[in-house]
Amino acid sequence: MKKIISVILTLLPVLCWSQFVDYETNKLSSEKQFKPVLKSLSALQNKFDQKFIHIALAVNDTNTYVSGSVKYKLLAKSNLDTVYFEFTTNVTIDSTQINEQNSVYYYSSDSLLVFPNVTIEQGNEFWIQIWYHGNPNPTGFMRGINNTTNTVYNQIVTWTLSESFHLKDWLPCKQDLTDRLDSAWLFITVDSSLKVGSNGMLSQITQLGNGKVRYEWKEHHPIVYYLLSFAASKYVEHNVYAHPSNYSDSILIQNYLFNNPQFLIDNTWNISQMAPIFELYCAQFGLYPWADEKFGHALCPVGGGMEHQTMTSLGYLDTWLVAHELTHQWYGDHITCASWQDIWINEGFASYGEYLYAQELVSQASADVNMANCHKRAKLEPNKSVYVPFADSWDENRIFSSNLSYKKGSAVIHMLRYLSNSDSLFFVALKQMQTQYADSVITGEDVKHIFENVNGKSFEDFFNQYYYGEGFPFYILIWQQDSTITGLDNLKLQLVQWGSSSNNQLFTTPLQIKVSFTENPDSVIVIQPSQSVQIFQIDVNNNKVSGLTFDPQNWVLDSLLYIYHISQDVEQIELDDFFITLGPNPASDNLNFKYSGPDNFKGIIKLYDLSGREMLSYNIMSNNEVIPLIKLKAGMYIAEINGNHLQLSRKLIIIK
């Protein structure tokens, strides 16, 4: 899924991001209230497995009114006397049946409980059908089912978007990532002036008379609940075909577009790029998982897109958005995060799909800009991890954090590529994720094991520092090559590092450094940090070094603060030498404190006399402070500063 604040969005005030966030905030507070209830009810849902769903609904393109039924084939995992679904309370239940026998139900507080006439015994498959009608979304806020207008091309669409907990907004359901449906039919009845896009293959369009038609879509492959979707509007169909090199046939890309001639004119180039992007991913990730069905796009007035299985919903046809959502067909749909804590599986990889698209089909320069932007956005979250903490796993704003799950997630995958023994092994690992976890769920831990097996080395530290760990490292690189002290044959490097989060202070990812020489070609060396302050001696074979470039290809998510060239011999450089100035010395009435590090300074300065008695304590709340010394007598003192990972101790003379 991708929600974008874009120029198009500003033209659609109904769907602005802030309203979406407000809506989510309200929803979350009500969900927290019901969480204990939902927990006990979800135990009820664990008593059955979902096998098949047949959705048969009549809809229109002027509001979100629905009527019809949903029918499930379920397998009882234990003896069942209650079947529990989540379902909005905004509609009317007409009747329920289990195995074609009318049954009693209870419907309240987003819960629908259906009671079989006789207990369904463990191991038995059974059918359950629910008839209902009503307007599940009378408020019009963005939720499971929507009816909105694209004002640029003047087209109204009824469409669904059910990630992450919103299938229940329009369908009685079990919202469990681990219980994939084996197959699904979506039969949607509309006026004959409308077309309906959905999952799987369009098996038939049945003429019903009275100006009504039924679009009969059949998804033969397993599908996760939140990827069930339809979009209904006065679409125009415009199809293209992809020809992946690893497939003998062509694959249909079926597009349901806004029915406005200007739309085709505006998007000619975007449409021409669909097949090349599709063919690129078939080569990089393995054959498209639903090559025997189709891929497609249905245009919906949404600010971004949603990766509905075999038919993406798109707000517009931008190639970067097409690339992101298409990558999801492999990462998100074919293999799915095992819990929302591992949303990186979906959004990190889809975001990295954008980088791969740029690298192969635009230019390396545009891919570099994409990754630099990922780093920039990741660094806006110095105290958070890609992995979603359990406490936040219901919070959709945290799950779909653009800075963390998307941008930092993409940067983490780029580093996995860097740490792989070769580029080809990186793509072997990506393909292995697809084959090993096909039609199933996968965790970040599973991805770690795949990279370890493919490369024959540990990725434990990397995942602990960059996936589970918070923030990113700050680095200072100091170098020295002085013939009078070290001799020209050695380059002495000192790397100083600390983490942006106090919970994650040491990063051990190997770092590339390009060494430039006055008379010889550049050379790239690799250093492997293992402690906060570390000295590396590099043999440069008597060549004079003219300068260093840190991480020249920008592989690593970090923040390099300084490269420092010094001529005197240094064993250990203290950070405060770079960041803190304290003076004048001697001082009389005032002492000036100045901090120039990467963050805002908060700490304390204390002055002790020579017998160790504390004579002054002063809280420092900003990067520039003037500390009054009026009350102190002339003499020698020790000044100690603590704050921002720094500890400084210095002799100070006060004169009066």
Beta carbon nearer to Zn ion, 129 or 313: 313
Beta carbon nearer to Zn ion, 400 or 462: 400
E strand spans, 610-645: 614-620, 624-628, 635-643
Beta carbon nearer to Zn ion, 45 or 164: 164
Closest to 159 (Cα-Cα) out of 218, 247, 230: 230
CB of 353 to Zn ion, least distance (A): 9
Beta carbon nearer to Zn ion, 244 or 353: 353
Phi, psi of 539 (to 5 degrees): -80, 115
Distance CA 642, CA 303 (A): 47
CB of 374 to Zn ion, least distance (A): 14
| DSSP assignments along 316-333, one per residue | S--HHHHHHHHHHHHBTT
Residue at shortest CB range from Zn ion:
350
Q: 388 is written with which tokens?
A: 């979603």
Beta carbon nearer to Zn ion, 2 or 377: 2
Distance CA 313, CA 300 (A): 6
Residue window 345-374: x/- pattern of binding to Zn ion, with contact defined by CB under 5 A = --x--x------------------------
- Among 19-27, 103-111, 343-351, 364-372, the segment contacting Zn ion (CB under 5 A): 343-351
Residue window 91-120: x/- pattern of binding to Zn ion, with contact defined by CB under 5 A = ------------------------------
CB of 399 to Zn ion, least distance (A): 11
Residue window 241-280: x/- pattern of binding to Zn ion, with contact defined by CB under 5 A = ----------------------------------------
Residue window 298-337: x/- pattern of binding to Zn ion, with contact defined by CB under 5 A = ----------------------------------------
Distance CA 530, CA 303 (A): 44
β-strand partners of 625: 593
- Among 85-93, 340-348, 585-593, 629-637, the segment contacting Zn ion (CB under 5 A): 340-348
Q: 28 is written with which tokens?
A: 């979350």
Beta carbon nearer to Zn ion, 2 or 398: 2
User: Which distant-in-sequence residues (6+ apart) come within 8 Å of 337 by Cβ?
Assistant: 177, 343, 344, 345, 346, 441, 442, 443
| Sheet of 533-539, strands arranged across | 533-539, 490-499, 473-480, 559-565
CB of 341 to Zn ion, least distance (A): 16
CB of 38 to Zn ion, least distance (A): 26
CB of 190 to Zn ion, least distance (A): 28
- Among 8-16, 180-188, 339-347, 384-392, the segment contacting Zn ion (CB under 5 A): 339-347
The count of residues interacting with Zn ion (CB under 5 A) is 4
CB of 26 to Zn ion, least distance (A): 24
Beta carbon nearer to Zn ion, 255 or 402: 402
CB of 412 to Zn ion, least distance (A): 15
Closest to 336 (Cα-Cα) out of 218, 454, 458, 176: 176
Distance CA 128, CA 141 (A): 30
Beta carbon nearer to Zn ion, 2 or 414: 2
Beta carbon nearer to Zn ion, 1 or 511: 1
Tell whether residue 1 is a contact of Zn ion (CB under 5 A): yes
Phi, psi of 540 (to 5 degrees): -110, 15
Are the CB atoms for 560 and 587 separated by under 8 Å? no
| Torsion, CA 238, CA 151, CA 24, CA 198, rounded to 10 | -20
Beta carbon nearer to Zn ion, 4 or 575: 4
User: Which distant-in-sequence residues (6+ apart) come within 8 Å of 20 by Cβ?
Assistant: 3, 142, 303
Which of the residues 18 through 47 are near Zn ion (CB under 5 A)? none
Distance CA 278, CA 255 (A): 14
Interacting residues toward Zn ion by CB under 5 A: 1-2, 347, 350
